[in-house]
Structure 1
Amino acid sequence: MDHTVIAVDTAKKVFQLHWVDHSTGSIERLQLKRTRMLEWFTLREPSLVVMEACGGAHEWARALAQLGHEVRLISPRKVRPFVQRNKTDAADAQAIWTACQQPGMRFVPVKTQAQQVVLSLHRIRAQLMKSRIMQTNELRGILYEFGLVLPEGHRALLKAMPDALVDAAQRLPAILMESLNEQMRRIAQLSQDIDQIEHRLAQQLRESPNCQSVAQIPGIGLLTATAVVASMGSPDAFKDAREFSAWIGLVPRQSGTGGRVRQMGISKRGDAYLRTLLMHAARSVVLRSHEASTWPWLQTLLKRRPYNVVVAAVANKLARTIWAVLAKGQAWNAQAWQGAH
């Protein structure tokens, strides 16, 4: 393996490359059209290729790996401090080359196409959910202007909507009622589209042993199981459970000087969508534990700490448990949670 490090700044049409020639020590820069990218690397000896983990990076990483190159993806946040003076493609490529060789640098795991497909379904569903919330809020606001108050929440709104539309039809002109009915049809179509995506995710859950193993953990359902397995990539990318939890942003943020370090709130780094799912899962676990009086350690924790702090702690524990289940290939152990601290 040639240890030449080639940094690539990707774009839509022109790619900028930066590397150092070992034989001469000279700095090399090269611009390549998108169509010539694979052709150039095909003729190149196997090297270490580094790119920012941005749009299209995982697809390029898989293509270059098939050509025999070792590919690493680095977070753009890690690259930004090394951009000198003006920001150009050449400066970005040089910054990538410099950042990737820093001691202790962490890289983004390259995802498979199947993992990207699952995450794409999650993104589409999240966008549809946002659109449905906008549509229902608009409908609720319009009816409120005419004295009709609808309950909050999508399910409660749909349950109360038929009676509200009957009442509105007696008070409002037909020109507005036609538009309100069209709005209801749009909401129903969005709900149908969301159900279709969840059906496809459920199929992925049935076909993936890893997703099924994760789904056995308390609080972990369809969305969280499929999202966490696809986002993690391989558990081997993390040295332990705490590193995985820190990658999601569920560990305390630290601030210190003069030898004194303070523990603060969770860092909230990493994937916000995945962190949100784990926080919702943790709330479900805490609520279920409070009602059923299970897991004495959790009951004790609720007595000593505020509710939201307990939820964050349980989310952290869920993330660590997920990594342990996937890394060790063992099923979730219910007895281990009974005596957890």
Structure 2
Amino acid sequence: MVAIKSESQQAILALHRMRAQLMKFRIMQTNALRGLLYEFGEVLPEGYRDFAEKISGALAKIADRLPAMLIDSLREQWARVQSTDKEIAVLERRLKVALRENQECQKIAEIPGVGMLTATAAVAAIGDAKTFRSGREFAAWLGLVPKQTGTGGHVRQLGISKRGDTYLRTLLMHGARSVIVKGSRTAWIDELLQRRPFNVVVAAVANKLARTIWAVLARDSRYTASAMAL
């Protein structure tokens, strides 16, 4: 279905895979630290930034009443998390370079809700956009179209299929949430929010983002606000 990728596209996807692996490791390590500290009465926030701001103070508070071997081990684990964070930052800088050097990435990065990560991942994953006959076919490849079931001529739509490229679909869902919560919301989104649950609207906006990305790449055009109506 998808066109054969160039070596440069494969290289960008490799960077994304390495970053995703490091992100999982960072989450695992911070969750472990949060759980251990909770056992000793220190409750830390779930968000990584807030966690990073609070953990040094939490370790200092328990340092006097707990064995030094435990405190040292906890600080070593936090150091590993910080090292991982630096590795993630290096990969993100390299992806920013890829964005600057690729005109297709720059074009779709102009779409609201599409940042550096989504732009580079989309261009690398899609290969040649013209492989897909339409934006809807591209959205279906990403698993962003509703599943359907029914008998006797009555068709019922279910949730999105969640087939295809999980990583890129997740990035588009994050981008859709950003558009809804703090982006440039349209009348269409506002009206949809009045009728449907929030997560359903997120999926609908992510679908529209995918179709807009396809339109920009397949037609070699630039983003316009009207393109979001595709």
TM-score (norm 1): 0.65
Q: Which has the larger radius of gyration?
A: 1
* Partner deviation per Cα, 1:149-171 (whole Å, 9 max, x = no partner): 11111111110012111112111
Q: Determine which of 101, 109, 124 is the counterpart of 1:230.
A: 124
**In structure 1, how many angstroms separate the alpha carbons of the residues matched to 2:23 and 2:164?**
22
| Matched AA of 1:165 | L
* Alpha-carbon separation, structure 2, partners of 1:335 and 1:271: 27
Query: 1-side partners of 2:148 and 2:52: how far apart?
Result: 45
| Superposed displacement of residue 176, structure 1 | 1.1
2:61 paired with 1:170 = no
Q: Quick one: distance in 2 between partners of 1:263 and 1:151? A: 38
Give the root-mean-square deviation of aligned CA atoms: 1.4
Give the deviation of 1:204 after TM superposition.
0.3
Q: Which residue of 1 aligns with 2:188?
A: 297
Q: Cα–Cα, structure 1 residues 303 and 120, in superposed 2: closer, same or farther, change >3 Å?
A: same
Among 115, 137, 143, the residue aligned to 1:243 = 137
* Matches of 1:150 and 1:306, distance apart in 2: 30
User: Residue 313 of structure 1 is aligned with which of 201, 204, 214?
Assistant: 204
| Aligned counterpart, 1:331 | 222
What SS class does the counterpart of residue 308 from structure 1 fall into?
A: helix
Name the CA distance, whole Å, in 2 between partners of 1:261 and 1:175.
63
2:2–2:128 CA contact under 8 A, matched in 1: no
SS in structure 2 of the partner of residue 264 of structure 1: strand
Whether the 8 Å CA contact 2:149–2:158 is kept in 1: the answer is yes
TM-score for the superposition, normalised by structure 2: 0.95
**Equivalent position of 2:38 in the other structure:** 144
Aligned pair partner of 2:12 in 118, 124, 139: 118
**Structure 1 residue 336: deviation in Å?**
4.8
| Distance in 2 between residues matched to 1:142 and 1:310, nearest whole Å | 37
Alpha-carbon distance between aligned partners in 1 of 2:226 and 2:168, rounded to the nearest angstrom: 26
Match of 1:151, SS? Answer: coil
Counterpart position of 1:127: 21
For 1:274 and 1:233, locate their aligned partners in 2 and report how far apart those are by CA, in whole Å. 13
Match of 1:188 among 74, 77, 82: 82
CA contact under 8 A between 2:2 and 2:127: conserved in structure 1? no
Aligned to 2:110: 216
Q: Distance in 2 between matches of 1:298 and 1:148?
A: 41
1:271 aligns with 2:162: no
Aligned counterpart for 1:197 among listed residues 91, 111, 114: 91
> Secondary structure of 1:231's match?
helix
Alignment of 1:56-75 (within 5 A): none
SS at match of 2:65: coil
Q: Higher strand proportion, which one?
A: 1
In 2, Cα distance between equivalents of 1:222 and 1:121: 13
How many aligned positions are there?
230
Displacement, 1:335?
4.5
What SS class does the counterpart of residue 169 from structure 2 fall into? helix
